[in-house]
Structure 1
Protein backbone atom coordinates (compact mmCIF):
# COMPACT_ATOMS: atom_id res chain seq x y z
CA UNK A 1 0.00 0.00 0.00
CA UNK A 2 1.17 3.53 -0.77
CA UNK A 3 2.62 5.52 2.08
CA UNK A 4 0.66 8.65 2.98
CA UNK A 5 2.44 11.99 3.05
CA UNK A 6 1.87 15.15 5.07
CA UNK A 7 1.41 18.26 2.90
CA UNK A 8 2.37 21.78 4.00
CA UNK A 9 0.97 24.50 1.70
CA UNK A 10 2.81 27.79 2.20
CA UNK A 11 4.67 30.22 -0.07
CA UNK A 12 7.18 31.54 2.50
CA UNK A 13 7.46 29.58 5.73
CA UNK A 14 9.99 26.82 6.36
CA UNK A 15 8.58 23.37 5.69
CA UNK A 16 8.30 21.47 8.99
CA UNK A 17 10.06 18.14 9.39
CA UNK A 18 7.91 15.24 8.19
CA UNK A 19 6.06 17.32 5.58
CA UNK A 20 6.27 17.82 1.82
CA UNK A 21 5.91 21.49 0.83
CA UNK A 22 3.76 22.98 -1.92
CA UNK A 23 4.57 26.65 -2.53
CA UNK A 24 1.65 27.39 -4.89
CA UNK A 25 -2.02 26.53 -5.41
CA UNK A 26 -1.13 24.50 -8.51
CA UNK A 27 1.65 22.54 -6.77
CA UNK A 28 -0.77 21.68 -3.97
CA UNK A 29 -3.46 20.44 -6.35
CA UNK A 30 -0.93 18.34 -8.24
CA UNK A 31 0.18 16.66 -5.02
CA UNK A 32 -3.36 16.22 -3.67
CA UNK A 33 -4.45 14.56 -6.91
CA UNK A 34 -1.43 12.28 -7.27
CA UNK A 35 -0.58 11.19 -3.73
CA UNK A 36 -2.36 10.00 -0.62
CA UNK A 37 -2.27 12.68 2.08
CA UNK A 38 -2.61 12.13 5.82
CA UNK A 39 -2.26 15.72 7.11
CA UNK A 40 -2.92 18.83 5.02
CA UNK A 41 -1.92 22.13 6.62
CA UNK A 42 -2.85 25.38 4.88
CA UNK A 43 -1.73 28.97 4.66
CA UNK A 44 -4.19 31.47 3.20
CA UNK A 45 -1.98 33.99 1.39
CA UNK A 46 0.20 32.35 -1.26
CA UNK A 47 2.02 35.36 -2.67
CA UNK A 48 1.73 37.74 -5.62
CA UNK A 49 2.69 37.62 -9.28
CA UNK A 50 5.29 39.92 -10.86
CA UNK A 51 2.61 42.64 -11.25
CA UNK A 52 1.61 42.56 -7.58
CA UNK A 53 -1.66 40.69 -8.11
CA UNK A 54 -2.58 38.12 -5.47
CA UNK A 55 -2.02 34.54 -6.63
CA UNK A 56 -4.62 31.85 -6.02
CA UNK A 57 -4.69 31.33 -2.28
CA UNK A 58 -5.53 28.76 0.37
CA UNK A 59 -9.22 29.63 0.21
CA UNK A 60 -9.17 28.93 -3.54
CA UNK A 61 -7.52 25.61 -2.72
CA UNK A 62 -10.22 24.80 -0.14
CA UNK A 63 -12.94 25.52 -2.72
CA UNK A 64 -11.21 23.22 -5.25
CA UNK A 65 -10.77 20.53 -2.57
CA UNK A 66 -14.49 20.67 -1.77
CA UNK A 67 -15.67 20.88 -5.38
CA UNK A 68 -13.74 17.76 -6.38
CA UNK A 69 -14.31 15.87 -3.13
CA UNK A 70 -10.62 15.34 -2.44
CA UNK A 71 -9.61 13.20 0.53
CA UNK A 72 -7.15 13.63 3.38
CA UNK A 73 -7.32 12.47 7.00
CA UNK A 74 -6.79 15.81 8.78
CA UNK A 75 -6.74 19.49 7.82
CA UNK A 76 -5.04 22.18 9.90
CA UNK A 77 -5.04 25.93 9.23
CA UNK A 78 -1.70 27.60 9.99
CA UNK A 79 -2.42 30.96 8.34
CA UNK A 80 -1.93 34.24 10.23
CA UNK A 81 -4.80 35.78 8.20
CA UNK A 82 -7.85 35.72 10.54
CA UNK A 83 -10.43 36.35 7.82
CA UNK A 84 -8.81 33.76 5.54
CA UNK A 85 -8.72 31.22 8.37
CA UNK A 86 -12.42 31.70 9.16
CA UNK A 87 -13.41 31.47 5.48
CA UNK A 88 -11.43 28.28 4.92
CA UNK A 89 -12.71 26.68 8.13
CA UNK A 90 -16.38 27.55 7.57
CA UNK A 91 -16.23 26.41 3.93
CA UNK A 92 -14.73 23.04 4.91
CA UNK A 93 -17.37 22.48 7.61
CA UNK A 94 -20.19 23.46 5.26
CA UNK A 95 -18.84 21.09 2.60
CA UNK A 96 -18.87 18.27 5.14
CA UNK A 97 -22.45 19.05 6.20
CA UNK A 98 -23.56 19.09 2.56
CA UNK A 99 -21.72 15.88 1.66
CA UNK A 100 -19.16 17.38 -0.73
CA UNK A 101 -16.25 16.08 1.36
CA UNK A 102 -16.03 13.14 3.74
CA UNK A 103 -17.35 13.54 7.27
CA UNK A 104 -14.32 11.45 8.30
CA UNK A 105 -11.91 14.35 7.63
CA UNK A 106 -10.86 15.98 10.91
CA UNK A 107 -10.75 19.78 10.51
CA UNK A 108 -8.81 21.97 12.95
CA UNK A 109 -8.98 25.77 13.25
CA UNK A 110 -5.38 25.99 14.44
CA UNK A 111 -1.88 24.89 13.32
CA UNK A 112 -0.22 21.57 14.13
CA UNK A 113 3.29 22.99 13.66
CA UNK A 114 5.06 26.19 14.67
CA UNK A 115 5.28 28.81 11.91
CA UNK A 116 8.94 29.48 11.11
CA UNK A 117 10.68 31.73 8.60
CA UNK A 118 14.40 31.40 7.98
CA UNK A 119 14.65 33.63 4.93
Structure 2
Protein backbone atom coordinates (compact mmCIF):
# COMPACT_ATOMS: atom_id res chain seq x y z
CA UNK A 1 0.00 0.00 0.00
CA UNK A 2 1.44 3.35 -1.07
CA UNK A 3 1.01 6.33 1.19
CA UNK A 4 1.13 9.72 -0.46
CA UNK A 5 2.12 12.67 1.66
CA UNK A 6 -0.10 15.67 1.34
CA UNK A 7 1.86 18.62 0.09
CA UNK A 8 0.71 21.91 1.48
CA UNK A 9 1.84 24.90 -0.49
CA UNK A 10 1.13 28.22 1.12
CA UNK A 11 1.29 31.10 -1.28
CA UNK A 12 2.62 34.35 0.05
CA UNK A 13 1.11 37.73 -0.63
CA UNK A 14 2.61 41.21 -0.63
CA UNK A 15 0.87 43.67 1.72
CA UNK A 16 0.75 47.45 1.20
CA UNK A 17 -0.50 49.37 4.26
CA UNK A 18 -1.50 52.96 3.47
CA UNK A 19 -4.62 55.07 3.97
CA UNK A 20 -4.26 57.27 0.86
CA UNK A 21 -1.69 56.13 -1.67
CA UNK A 22 -2.44 53.98 -4.70
CA UNK A 23 -1.78 50.30 -4.15
CA UNK A 24 1.04 49.05 -6.40
CA UNK A 25 0.47 46.12 -8.73
CA UNK A 26 1.12 42.79 -7.06
CA UNK A 27 0.12 43.97 -3.59
CA UNK A 28 -2.91 43.48 -1.36
CA UNK A 29 -4.10 46.75 0.18
CA UNK A 30 -4.89 47.47 3.83
CA UNK A 31 -6.16 51.01 4.44
CA UNK A 32 -5.99 50.89 8.24
CA UNK A 33 -4.54 49.13 11.27
CA UNK A 34 -7.45 46.70 11.67
CA UNK A 35 -7.40 45.57 8.04
CA UNK A 36 -3.63 45.10 8.20
CA UNK A 37 -3.83 42.96 11.35
CA UNK A 38 -6.53 40.76 9.82
CA UNK A 39 -4.44 40.19 6.68
CA UNK A 40 -1.21 39.62 8.62
CA UNK A 41 -2.84 37.05 10.89
CA UNK A 42 -4.49 35.11 8.06
CA UNK A 43 -1.88 35.08 5.31
CA UNK A 44 1.74 34.30 4.64
CA UNK A 45 3.41 37.62 3.84
CA UNK A 46 6.36 37.93 1.50
CA UNK A 47 6.71 41.73 1.32
CA UNK A 48 5.18 44.12 3.87
CA UNK A 49 5.43 47.82 3.07
CA UNK A 50 4.25 50.36 5.62
CA UNK A 51 3.11 53.95 5.88
CA UNK A 52 3.23 55.64 9.27
CA UNK A 53 0.23 57.98 9.21
CA UNK A 54 -3.00 56.04 8.67
CA UNK A 55 -5.58 58.79 8.91
CA UNK A 56 -7.94 60.34 11.43
CA UNK A 57 -11.44 59.56 12.66
CA UNK A 58 -14.45 61.87 12.20
CA UNK A 59 -13.42 63.94 15.24
CA UNK A 60 -9.88 64.46 13.92
CA UNK A 61 -8.27 62.00 16.32
CA UNK A 62 -5.33 60.07 14.85
CA UNK A 63 -6.15 56.46 14.06
CA UNK A 64 -3.71 53.70 15.03
CA UNK A 65 -0.65 54.31 12.86
CA UNK A 66 2.14 52.30 11.29
CA UNK A 67 4.20 52.48 14.46
CA UNK A 68 1.32 50.90 16.38
CA UNK A 69 1.19 48.23 13.70
CA UNK A 70 4.93 47.58 14.03
CA UNK A 71 4.56 47.20 17.80
CA UNK A 72 1.69 44.74 17.33
CA UNK A 73 3.71 42.84 14.71
CA UNK A 74 6.64 42.51 17.12
CA UNK A 75 4.59 41.73 20.23
CA UNK A 76 2.79 38.90 18.44
CA UNK A 77 5.82 37.52 16.61
CA UNK A 78 4.25 37.97 13.19
CA UNK A 79 6.21 37.29 10.03
CA UNK A 80 7.01 38.84 6.68
CA UNK A 81 10.03 37.92 4.59
CA UNK A 82 10.83 41.55 3.82
CA UNK A 83 9.63 44.80 5.37
CA UNK A 84 9.90 48.20 3.68
CA UNK A 85 8.94 51.60 5.05
CA UNK A 86 7.40 53.86 2.41
CA UNK A 87 6.27 56.62 4.77
CA UNK A 88 7.21 60.26 4.18
CA UNK A 89 7.17 60.86 7.95
CA UNK A 90 10.87 60.86 8.98
CA UNK A 91 10.24 60.48 12.72
CA UNK A 92 7.68 57.72 12.14
CA UNK A 93 10.08 55.94 9.76
CA UNK A 94 12.90 56.03 12.32
CA UNK A 95 10.64 54.79 15.13
CA UNK A 96 9.30 51.90 13.04
CA UNK A 97 12.74 50.93 11.72
CA UNK A 98 14.48 51.04 15.11
CA UNK A 99 11.64 49.12 16.78
CA UNK A 100 11.80 46.37 14.15
CA UNK A 101 15.59 46.06 14.48
CA UNK A 102 15.41 45.99 18.28
CA UNK A 103 12.68 43.34 18.22
CA UNK A 104 14.82 41.29 15.88
CA UNK A 105 17.88 41.60 18.13
CA UNK A 106 15.83 40.56 21.15
CA UNK A 107 14.24 37.59 19.39
CA UNK A 108 10.66 38.89 19.26
CA UNK A 109 10.62 38.57 15.47
CA UNK A 110 12.60 36.24 13.22
CA UNK A 111 16.22 37.16 12.63
CA UNK A 112 16.03 36.41 8.90
CA UNK A 113 13.40 39.08 8.16
CA UNK A 114 14.94 41.67 5.86
CA UNK A 115 14.15 45.19 7.10
CA UNK A 116 14.61 48.27 4.91
CA UNK A 117 14.12 51.92 5.89
CA UNK A 118 13.13 52.93 2.34
CA UNK A 119 10.30 52.09 -0.10
CA UNK A 120 10.34 49.25 -2.61
CA UNK A 121 7.74 50.92 -4.84
CA UNK A 122 7.18 54.47 -6.03
CA UNK A 123 4.66 56.32 -3.88
CA UNK A 124 1.76 57.46 -6.05
CA UNK A 125 -1.51 59.14 -5.18
CA UNK A 126 -4.27 59.54 -7.72
CA UNK A 127 -6.85 60.79 -5.23
CA UNK A 128 -9.40 58.13 -6.17
TM-score normalized with structure 2 length: 0.92
Does 2:113 align with 1:105? yes
| Runs of 5+ consecutive residues of structure 1 not aligned to the other structure | none
* Matched ranges for 1:1-119 at <5 A: 1-119=9-127
CA displacement 1:19-42 (0-9 Å, x = unmatched): 000000000000000000000000
- Inter-partner Cα distance in structure 2 for 1:47 and 1:57: 8
- Inter-partner Cα distance in structure 2 for 1:61 and 1:73: 16
How many pairs does the alignment contain?
119
| Runs of 5+ consecutive residues of structure 2 not aligned to the other structure | 1-8
Structure index of larger Rg: 2
TM-score normalized with structure 1 length: 0.99
What RMSD in Å do the two structures reach over aligned CA positions?
0.3
